[in-house]
Amino acid sequence: MKHVLTPLQAKLLELLKWFDGFCTENNLRYYAIGGTMLGAMRHQGFIPWDDDIDVGMPRRDFEKLKEFSKNQNGRFRFETYDSESDDYCYAFDKLYDTTTTLIEHKRIDVVRGVYIDIFPLDGIGNTKDEGFDNYNRFKKLNQLFETSVNGVRRGRSLYKNAAVVLFKMIPNFILNQRALRIKMNAICSKYDFDECKYGGNFFGAYWEKEIVELSLFGKPTYYQFEDMMIAGPENADGYLTSIYNNWHKLPPIEKQVSHHEFTYLDLNKSYLIN
């Protein structure tokens, strides 16, 4: 039986439809990635327990969003990784629904709306070994950044929570998060998505597993996702196998849960209203 969308998933679908139309209108490439692509292939829509949308854009297309994000005043608004807002703590871009409010638990709680995550897709090298060597240099910086922006969370190891508490004591002028976000993106953009054999989404949750053969992405190809069609990797099976191995198999029931740190959600109130 077809999964009935939760109210949050219904809002996310509205965002995705707008984003897809926006990319088509402005001739921008994007691909559904991660759990969103997995949902499209395995469920023809959302993974039933999922509560987010992940898309990736080749760096050239991703950077163009900066121009489109200026002077926004509509319902859907972009915020880019170089945002000057004190509470923006992401090294990638987001698209928000301004008619909603969602608070996410971080070092400084992030008060925005329901969102789509928009990740840059970059090259990393022309051999697997070269790719891992280049990625490992970036990974240390990314781990530093993640520790500096996260909040204490139940279920995380004592060691990791202690590191989070320690980093809270470091003032921003010493460990400037915005500067780190910009530096990490500059490092990632060194290798061109369209000219490398290996690459991927280096801000993704699967770390080294995100390094794949870029030929798997190929030409954006459309797949069924709920009542719409979304762009994804041309070789979707190869892409998902690279990251998840046996992606057809459902995880154990105890792992069929969301992993996000939402502390408040109101689908009918704008976060822009104080």
pLDDT tens-place string over residues 56-66: 999 999 999 88
What does the block give as tokens for 41?
Answer: 């292939």
Please count the structural domains in the chain: 1
Higher pLDDT, 264 or 153: 264
pLDDT of 173 higher than 70: no
pLDDT of 168 higher than 60: no
In a domain, 272, yes or no: no
C-alpha atoms less than 13 angstroms from C-alpha of 204 in its C-beta half-sphere: 28
Structural domain range at position 220 = 7-266
In this prediction, residue 185 has a pLDDT band, given cuts at 50, 70 and 90, of very high
Task: Give the pLDDT confidence score for residue 254 in this predicted structure.
Answer: 75
What does the block give as tokens for 132?
Answer: 């891992």
In a domain, 243, yes or no: yes
In a domain, 56, yes or no: yes
In this prediction, residue 242 has a pLDDT band, given cuts at 50, 70 and 90, of very high
What does the block give as tokens for 3?
Answer: 């999964």
Q: Are 119 and 188 in contact (CB under 8 A)?
A: no
Q: How far apart are CA 258 and CA 104, in angstroms?
A: 13
pLDDT of 159 higher than 70: no
Give Cα 181 to chain centroid, integer Å: 14
In a domain, 68, yes or no: yes
pLDDT of 94 higher than 90: yes
pLDDT of 158 higher than 60: no
In a domain, 81, yes or no: yes
